[in-house]
Structure 1
């Protein structure tokens, strides 16, 4: 375990505009992986059962069935993982934007309040 200390004076900056394209890329990868898995399975099924009903055919199928199913499952699982990643990044972006909006609203409320030291309104904020 590491001991990490963070000062409350440190600033955290998150550029959500740069994160948003990652959501689309994750969704695209998810779709492509699921499509690859489905396509491979359909192509393999289109050939029927090319192994024979003899001992060699049954031995081949015994060695083929699990790796084939595992490969198809891996493509679908990876696609699902990228879908989950896209959702997670989307939620993270929304949370950061909400925090920024809340901080901005709080800052505006504080700026508009009367300065307790002088009894006067503070000067207007730049860009307002």
Structure 2
């Protein structure tokens, strides 16, 4: 800290960057969800389509016992992507609200200071 490296900025949050990144996570969650649905539908529809040869048997041996766990983990990943999308939207909205609140504080303080210096409070112009 304080060693002179870096830009000196604590945070450099650009709301537009956050808002543009959020939909990417939504899009990816939809694509992953569609891929999972296709995988489940296709494999369940065909039974065990990987065949009876050596590679097919190896795949079936590895895949079948882990199928439900794979589907659950993928479902969790989908929810995670949706959550990131929502969190980024909330972060951007909160950042805008915070900026507006801070701007309001400084605007209010500036207005009150001007009024005091223009005779609105220290006996100047008072009768």
Q: TM-score when scaled to structure 2?
A: 0.68
Instruction: Write out per-residue CA displacement over residues 29-79 of structure 1, whole angstroms, 9 at most, x where no aligned residue.
Output: 11111111111000001103569xxxxxxxx97754332222222222211
Residue 12 of structure 2: SS of its match in structure 1? coil
Residue 114 of structure 1: SS of its match in structure 2? helix
Q: Distance in 1 between matches of 2:102 and 2:62?
A: 60
Would the aligned equivalents of 1:32 and 1:79 in 2 still touch at CA under 8 Å? no
Residue 13 of structure 1: SS of its match in structure 2? coil
1:120 and 2:118 matched = yes
Larger RCO (CA within 8 A; separation ≥ 6): 2
Q: Distance in 1 between matches of 2:62 and 2:48?
A: 14
Q: Distance in 1 between matches of 2:20 and 2:92?
A: 11
For structure 2, list consecutive stretches of 5 or more residues without a partner in the other structure.
3-7, 51-58, 120-127
Of Structure 1 and Structure 2, the greater helix share is in: 2
Would the aligned equivalents of 1:26 and 1:82 in 2 still touch at CA under 8 Å? yes
Q: Distance in 2 between matches of 1:31 and 1:23?
A: 13
1:68 and 2:67 matched = yes
Q: Distance in 1 between matches of 2:13 and 2:49?
A: 55
Would the aligned equivalents of 1:40 and 1:72 in 2 still touch at CA under 8 Å? no
Q: TM-score when scaled to structure 1?
A: 0.68
Q: Distance in 2 between matches of 1:38 and 1:89?
A: 26
Q: CA RMSD in A?
A: 2.8
